[in-house]
Amino acid sequence: MNIQISFRGMDHSDLAENYVHLALEKVAKYLEKEPDPITIEVLLEAHRVHAHHKVEIRIHSKHNHFIIKHEGEDLYYEIDHVIKVLIEEIKKNKNKNIDQRNQKADLLVFDDEYEDID
């Protein structure tokens, strides 16, 4: 996995970077069977005028592309929220793919049964 973390409107923070890496470990287990290469781009943005943070995560792989964003007052809460939504989207996408595969398999079985009747 190729992970890029960018800071915009704020100085680089090792604490925030480590927090993101730990949070992405939760996501990695859902992407284990995904073919390489997987690129994860994380953007942490802070506004200088008031305490407002934006977190954006983009995941690009051979079969999937996810873009999740959220804004709020607490940077670490926003990271957690984006990770939670990202995991839900990955699960939903995997279930959708499994359902599509099962429907195709059911159609193939039905076609085989139909041919045997002749």
SS3 state of residue 66 = strand
Average pLDDT over residues 21-32: 89
Residue 23 has pLDDT above 80, yes or no: yes
**Amino acid (1-letter code) at residue 75:** L
Q: Are 16 and 51 in contact (CB under 8 A)?
A: no
What domains lie within the chain, and their CATH numbers? 2-89 (3.30.160.100)
Q: Which element (helix H / strand E) includes 57?
A: strand 52-60
To the nearest 10 degrees (0 to 180), the angle between helices 75-117 and 14-28 is 20
Which two three-digit tokens encode residue 114? 């139909």
Which two three-digit tokens encode residue 8? 């915009």
Average pLDDT over residues 78-105: 86
Measure the CA–CA gap between 7 and 106, rounded to whole angstroms.
Answer: 48
Average pLDDT over residues 80-91: 94
pTM for this model (two decimals): 0.79
